[in-house]
Structure 1
Amino acid sequence: MLRTFSRPAVASTKAVRTFLTSLPASDRPRSKALGAVRGTGQSQDMLDITNLEEFAFDDSTTIGYDHLEAQKEVRKYLRIAKYEIPKLKAFAKPFQPPTKTEILKFRTTTYLGEPNHPAAPKVVLTIQTKSLPLTNPELHKFLLLVGPRYDPVREEIKMSCEKFQDRSQNFKWLSDTLDKLLEESKKDPEAMQELPLDLRHAAKNMKPKVRFPKEWNRPAKAAATNA
């Protein structure tokens, strides 16, 4: 099936000239100074579109230019991967596992090609409860304070922050908040010892998995005889 497309209407010469003459006096001399040479070899006003050559469909479309821009971006990262990334080998260091005092785990996400992504400043902090320097009463009070941020299945605490546009500020806020929680949990922890933990947020993950008892399996010999 053939489709026909109508050519968009072109503004009249009178309307174009009216628009050009309405430009500020400071813009008209500048546009003449930046005149472009068209077929006749004479310098003309760049804003005077009435003297432009007729479009002969010899240029790329908007979709074509978008495709070229996408190729340029891909080639940019390919050049970085070939010429820039190998230079980082000089700064490589052997892996060293974290020590017992390094118990905090921070996680961030970087979106390639989107430096201003709204989720880029977000920082997530995870810490194992067994690595906290707290006694049992202090740990119980600490878990009461963190509330649903405690995962009883993995036995870890997870907190996140995206209040600030700068990622370093979110790092600082999480670190300061954790220090305040630890300090508060050490203040008279025995007073909170009788309060139970509210684990309703993790009830779904704490459900025991029902498995078929092995004693109910049909013996192999009996199964073969019945078959």
Structure 2
Amino acid sequence: MLRSITRTPLGMAASVHKLAVRTLMTSLPASDRPRSSAMGAIRSSGNSKDMLDITNLEEFQFDDSATIGHDYLETQREVRKYLRITKYELPKLKAYVKPFQPPTKTQILRFRTSTYIGEANHPAARKVVLTVDTKSLPLTNPELHKFLLLVGPRYDPVKEQIKMSCEKFQDRSQNFKWLSDTLDKLINEAKKEPETVSDVPLDLRHAAKNMKPKVRFPKEWNRPTTTTTTTTTTSTTATTPATETA
């Protein structure tokens, strides 16, 4: 049996699939084996449930492409889809162009997402990252101190920003909502008796590496640059003609 299988991976897979289908069909009772007349009656009746039954499947005749071939064709279709959008749909967006307006003081939240073209179900596509400046939060100094104690290592003391991410939900909009609700809960909790934790210091060990001062070479230690001037002396020699004596 192994000698009849082609040595190529595609041929080997096709031969194994054909052998498995034949073994399954021969192990079934004669009354359950597919027949052309029965398949014709099933197709004409439109009963899709019976057509999906494994006992009613026709024998594979190796007249179709393999799974890897269908995946390649699907990739080509998606590439051509975006090429058509680029050529015919993107020029229409000029009618909706608006001048850039910087965010207002109330628009303090920044969300970042990643889209992987060609991979609709990429596991990292649902991840949402929230960034907000601590100076823009509607909190007093004691409330801000309690807020920073609550967020913990999500606080960056160098940039003075809070950074949170969420990918626990399958849909991206749910992760948006979770981050927004969590930030609101933290702000509301920070406003409740902030004086009780005013003497608790912030734990900034997570940012100790970024907070180290950068060692720079002192300018006073630089070697002084000396400018040497070269003077060129030109000597002129006067030649006196010799006098001839008779």
Establish whether TM, by shorter chain, passes 0.5: yes
Give 2:3's aligned residue: none
Residues in 2 aligned to 1:48 and 1:181: alpha-carbon distance in whole angstroms: 60
Q: 1:24 aligns with which of 29, 32, 38?
A: 32
In the TM superposition, residue 92 of structure 1 has moved relative to its aligned partner by 2.8
Give 1:101's aligned residue: 106
Residues in 2 aligned to 1:66 and 1:208: alpha-carbon distance in whole angstroms: 53
Residues in 2 aligned to 1:81 and 1:154: alpha-carbon distance in whole angstroms: 38
Residues in 2 aligned to 1:29 and 1:196: alpha-carbon distance in whole angstroms: 83
* TM-score, with structure 2 as normaliser: 0.67
In the TM superposition, residue 89 of structure 1 has moved relative to its aligned partner by 2.7
- Preserved CA contact (<8 Å) 1:149 1:158: yes
Residues in 1 aligned to 2:121 and 2:60: alpha-carbon distance in whole angstroms: 39
Give 2:179's aligned residue: 174
Distance 1:64 1:168, change over 3 A: closer
The 5 Å alignment of 1:1-227 reads 18=26, 22=30, 24=32, 27-31=35-39, 47=59, 70-221=75-226
Distance 1:23 1:81, change over 3 A: farther
Residues in 2 aligned to 1:48 and 1:179: alpha-carbon distance in whole angstroms: 59
Deviations 1:76-96 (A, max 9, x none): 221121112222333332221
In the TM superposition, residue 28 of structure 1 has moved relative to its aligned partner by 3.6
Q: What percentage of residue pairs aligned between the two structures are identical?
A: 69
| Amino acid in the other structure paired with 1:165 | Q
In the TM superposition, residue 148 of structure 1 has moved relative to its aligned partner by 0.2
Say what the alpha-carbon RMSD is for the aligned residues: 3.6
- Preserved CA contact (<8 Å) 1:110 1:120: yes
- Preserved CA contact (<8 Å) 2:25 2:33: no
**Which protein has the larger Cα radius of gyration, Structure 1 or Structure 2?**
2
Give 1:43's aligned residue: none
Distance 1:107 1:23, change over 3 A: farther
| Amino acid in the other structure paired with 1:139 | L
* TM-score, with structure 1 as normaliser: 0.72
In the TM superposition, residue 115 of structure 1 has moved relative to its aligned partner by 1.5
Q: How many residues in Structure 1 have an aligned counterpart in Structure 2?
A: 201
In the TM superposition, residue 63 of structure 1 has moved relative to its aligned partner by 7.7
Distance 1:170 1:27, change over 3 A: farther
